[in-house]
């Protein structure tokens, strides 16, 4: 079946440290993965995506890693800032399906 899960519901990091948010997926037929950030009172905001023919993709301060062998996805945020506080969702797109399947979310809090 389809399920996308996150290893931890909450993550607390010190300002300036790197954050790593993990996600496990179960559908080996998924060919596209995406990370969203949702701040309080707002809708999910696109951060970064990756296709299954890649294992790493970098953006501005963010990196997504894909390990298809163990069906694991991670989001790395460099030099975490107070503005990074939010809930982070991973989602997968099963091949041929007209939808994204979302994980439950990890709440990232930043300690000053």
Partner 1 sequence: ETGVTQTPRHLVMGMTNKKSLKCEQHLGHNAMYWYKQSAKKPLELMFVYSLEERVENNSVPSRFSPECPNSSHLFLHLHTLQPEDSALYLCASSQDTPDTQYFGPGTRLTVL
Kindly list the residues in this chain that would bind partner 1 in the complex (CB under 8 A): 4, 32, 34, 36, 41-46, 49, 89, 91, 93, 97-100, 102-105
Q: Which is nearer to partner 1, 1 or 112 (CB)?
A: 1
Whole-angstrom distance, CA of residue 78 vs CA of residue 47:
13
Six-digit token string for 6: 């996150």
Place of tokens 């930043």: 110
Six-digit token string for 80: 């975490």
Query: For 84, which DSSP code?
Result: G
Query: Shortest distance, CB of residue 71 to partner 1, whole angstroms?
Result: 17
Q: Which is nearer to partner 1, 98 or 112 (CB)?
A: 98
Query: Shortest distance, CB of residue 40 to partner 1, whole angstroms?
Result: 11
Six-digit token string for 68: 């298809």
């Amino acid at each position: 079946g389809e399920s996308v899960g996150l290893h931890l519901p909450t993550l607390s990091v010190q300002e300036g440290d790197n954050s790593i948010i993990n996600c496990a997926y179960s559908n080996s037929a998924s060919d596209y993965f995406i990370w969203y950030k949702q701040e309080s009172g707002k809708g999910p905001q696109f951060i970064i995506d990756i296709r299954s023919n890649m294992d790493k993709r970098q953006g501005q301060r963010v990196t997504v890693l894909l390990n298809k062998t163990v069906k694991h996805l991670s989001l790395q945020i460099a030099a975490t800032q107070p503005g990074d506080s939010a809930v982070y969702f991973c989602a997968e797109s099963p091949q041929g399906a007209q939808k994204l399947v979302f994980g439950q979310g990890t709440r990232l809090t930043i300690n000053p």
